Structures are given as structure tokens and as C-alpha cells.
């Protein structure tokens, strides 16, 4: 087997995946944006290639000589000011990867999509699955729509003969999040939170989603998408668990409908009228008020995926990682 290319290797999932592949004895080439790195890559026997997935020539250069590709590079943002970059990277970058895979006759490509591209359940009792309808209202959310388009793009290329499989994680927790998506939440809880949104989310650990990627590479059916979700929690439950681990006071109240509208409206005003990035994107707040639960039956049944790491354990590992980073 030839080299394995991993894009987005400076990210949380990407760096953890690279480490696991090296441990398995794979020859790995990482594709990184210039001046980016991740401490999990320190000391690994890997080949480094720098470039940008939005540039076709960079992608062809990075992929040349590779038999397998894990495409994880992407933008996670709910700010409308990032709209152009979101589509350029999430959709345009994926198109470049698939075009190069077709040209170079790569044996298998695993693309990290997202449950965001599947949609938002209308009721918490009805978790969405891979074939669920993406509601039209969420096309106005650039991040969600970019992931929806990514999934459709992969399906199109699969029909054209490109051996692509999709992986759709829910919200990922665990060690290695140097972008501090988790760290920001941990700091807010440490500082004290009274009110939390009324929604909920499905969660999965970074270690378990890495296993999911490898299973998709080995056993996934071309053109198919696989959801990876472990546990379901309300926002109140999640933040209470984090508070207990941090040994601080848990949140006390859940947003009322009036408070929900106030927060969304305020963040919308800051972002849309004043042209600034609020402390939170209004679209992110709106989504936190929904119960974004997803059904991972297909991945468990067809790939043999069995999650091993609980949300509580993943948070402890994240907390330990941040503590070591501060030293």
C-alpha cells in the first residue's frame, strides 16, 4: 500500500487520526496550511506538504503518489462574515480533492462531512439519519449549507467513478482541540453560567470518530455517508457534567422563549447591522436551541463501529490537554 494523505492534519480530528495511522504502520503525508501545526504531530515519522485545498495545483502536488486520502480540512464557523471562506474551503476544497483523486486514480477517499449537512430534527424524539430531508430553512446557514453541498458533491463524484466515502460526525469532544472550541465553553463554565440554551446535541469523542474514519476507509461503501454519534444530551445536562468535572457551580436556568429571542436578536444585530463578530454567532445560538440528535445505526451495523469513550471521559481528556498546554 502506498502513502496515505491526510488534509486538515493540524486540526483536532486530523492530528489524532495521523497519530493513529502512524501507530498502525502507515506511511503518512500530511497536507497543512503554511505556518500551521499541531503538537500531536511532534516526533512522528511523517512527510509534510504545505499548501491550500482551494488551490488545484497544491492539491495535485500533495496527492501525487498517495493511494488513500482522508480529507478533513474545513472551516467551522457560524458567522456570516465568513461565508465566502466557508464555501471556498468546505465545498471548493472538497471539489479539488475529488477532481485530483479522479485524475490520479486514488484507490479510496474518505471525506469528513458533518451531521450539519444532514439537517436539524423537528422534534428531539426523531433523530435524523443519513437519508433525512434537509429542511430548506437551513440553506441560509452557510456552514450547514456548505456541508449539505459537500455531501451532494461526494455523491455526484461517486456516480462518476470516484471511490469516495463520507463520514458525518456529530459534535466532537476530547483532547487536542487547539482551536479551543471546547476550551471556550470550559472557560465560560469556569467563570460561571446561569442560563443555558433549551436545546441539545449528540456527541462523540475524537478517539471514536478517528476509529470511524479508519472503518470507513476499510469497509465503507462508495457513495455512502455514515453518521457517528454516541450519546445524546441537552445543553443543560452537558454543561452540568462539565461543571461537575471542573468542580464549579453548574448552570441554574434554561432560556425562556423570550430570553432565547433576545439573545438571538442581539447577536443578529451586532453581526448583521453593525458588521461585527459578536461573542457568539446568532446562527450558533439559534442551533443551540434545537435538539440536534442523530441516529448512528448505519455505522454501527455496516461498519462495526462501537464507541468506547463517554462524554464525561472525553471532557476529562480535554481538560487534561488544556492544563498540559498551559505548562
What is the arithmetic mean of pLDDT over 28-40?
Answer: 97
* Cell numbers standing for residue 11: 486540526
* Cell numbers standing for residue 109: 477517499
Q: How confident is the model at residue 191 (pLDDT cuts 50, 70, 90)?
A: confident
Q: Where are the alpha helices (DSSP H) in 132-281?
A: 142-159, 181-191, 206-219, 235-246, 257-268
Q: Share the mean pLDDT of the chain.
A: 94
- Higher per-residue pLDDT: 260 or 65: 65
Residue 204 has pLDDT above 80, yes or no: yes
Residue 60 has pLDDT above 70, yes or no: yes
Residue 1 confidence (pLDDT): 61
Residue 260 confidence (pLDDT): 83
Q: How confident is the model at residue 4 (pLDDT cuts 50, 70, 90)?
A: very high
Q: How confident is the model at residue 293 (pLDDT cuts 50, 70, 90)?
A: very high
Residue 309 has pLDDT above 90, yes or no: yes
Residue 63 has pLDDT above 90, yes or no: yes
DSSP state of 294: B
pLDDT tens digits along 98-115: 999 999 999 999 999 999
DSSP state of 250: P
236 Rama class: left (phi>0) / alpha (psi -120 to 50) / beta: alpha
Contact 140, 205 (CB under 8 A): no
**Percent of the chain surpassing pLDDT 70:** 99
* Cell numbers standing for residue 54: 482551494
pLDDT tens digits along 131-189: 999 999 999 999 999 999 999 999 999 999 999 999 999 999 999 999 877 878 888 88
What is the arithmetic mean of pLDDT over 218-225?
Answer: 98
* Cell numbers standing for residue 1: 500500500
Residue 257 confidence (pLDDT): 77
Question: Residue 59's closest CA among 50, 72, 48, 68?
Answer: 50
Q: Which of 131-140, 230-239, 268-277 has the lowest mean pLDDT?
A: 268-277
DSSP state of 64: T
Residue 85 has pLDDT above 80, yes or no: yes
Residue 326 has pLDDT above 80, yes or no: no
Q: Which of 23-27, 153-157, 268-272, 307-311 has the lowest mean pLDDT?
A: 268-272
Q: What are phi and psi of 205, to 5 degrees?
A: -80, 155
With the C-alpha atoms ordered 20, 181, 204, 71, is the resulting torsion angle positive or negative? Answer: negative
What is the arithmetic mean of pLDDT over 261-276?
Answer: 86
From CA 240, how far away is CA 233, in angstroms rounded?
10
Most confident listed range (4-13, 123-132, 193-202): 4-13
Neighbours of 273 (CB within 10 A): 8
Sheet-wide strand order for 3-7: 47-50, 28-32, 3-7, 66-71, 108-112, 164-169, 225-228
Contact 133, 120 (CB under 8 A): no
Residue 91 has pLDDT above 90, yes or no: yes
Residue 52 has pLDDT above 90, yes or no: yes
Contact 18, 40 (CB under 8 A): yes
Q: How confident is the model at residue 66 (pLDDT cuts 50, 70, 90)?
A: very high
- Compute the 3-state secondary structure of the chain and give helix, strand, coil in percent, each to the nearest 5: 50, 15, 35
Amino acid at each position: 500500500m502506498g502513502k496515505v494523505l491526510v488534509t486538515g492534519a493540524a486540526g483536532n480530528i486530523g492530528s489524532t487520526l495521523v497519530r493513529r495511522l502512524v501507530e498502525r504502520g502507515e506511511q503518512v503525508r500530511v497536507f497543512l496550511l503554511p505556518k500551521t501545526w499541531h503538537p500531536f504531530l511532534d516526533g512522528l515519522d511523517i512527510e509534510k506538504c504545505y499548501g491550500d485545498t482551494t488551490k488545484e495545483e497544491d492539491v495535485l502536488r500533495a496527492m501525487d503518489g498517495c493511494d488513500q486520502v482522508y480529507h478533513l480540512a474545513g472551516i467551522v464557523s457560524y458567522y456570516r462574515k465568513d461565508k465566502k471562506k466557508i464555501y471556498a474551503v468546505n465545498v471548493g476544497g472538497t471539489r479539488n480533492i475529488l477532481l485530483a483523486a479522479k485524475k490520479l486514480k486514488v484507490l479510496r477517499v474518505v471525506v469528513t462531512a458533518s451531521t450539519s449537512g444532514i439537517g436539524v430534527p423537528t422534534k428531539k424524539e426523531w433523530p435524523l439519519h443519513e437519508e433525512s430531508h434537509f429542511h430548506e430553512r437551513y440553506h441560509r446557514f452557510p456552514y450547514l449549507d456548505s456541508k449539505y453541498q459537500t455531501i451532494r458533491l461526494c455523491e455526484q463524484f461517486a456516480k462518476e467513478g470516484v471511490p469516495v466515502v463520507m463520514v458525518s460526525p456529530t459534535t466532537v469532544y476530547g483532547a487536542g482541540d487547539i482551536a479551543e472550541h471546547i476550551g471556550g465553553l470550559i472557560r465560560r463554565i469556569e467563570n460561571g453560567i446561569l442560563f443555558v440554551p433549551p436545546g441539545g446535541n449528540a456527541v462523540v469523542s475524537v478517539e471514536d470518530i478517528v476509529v470511524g474514519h479508519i472503518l470507513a476507509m476499510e469497509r465503507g461503501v462508495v457513495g455512502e455517508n455514515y453518521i457517528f454519534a454516541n450519546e445524546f444530551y441537552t445543553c443543560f445536562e452537558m454543561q452540568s457534567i462539565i461543571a461537575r468535572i471542573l468542580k464549579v457551580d453548574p448552570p441554574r436556568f434554561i432560556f425562556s422563549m423570550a430570553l432565547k429571542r433576545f439573545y438571538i436578536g442581539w447577536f443578529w444585530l451586532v453581526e448583521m447591522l453593525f458588521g461585527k463578530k459578536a461573542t457568539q454567532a446568532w446562527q450558533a445560538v439559534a442551533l443551540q436551541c434545537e435538539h440536534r440528535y442523530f441516529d448512528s445505526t448505519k455505522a454501527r451495523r455496516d461498519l462495526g463501529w462501537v464507541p468506547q469513550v463517554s462524554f464525561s471521559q472525553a471532557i476529562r481528556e480535554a481538560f487534561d490537554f488544556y492544563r498540559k498546554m498551559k505548562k
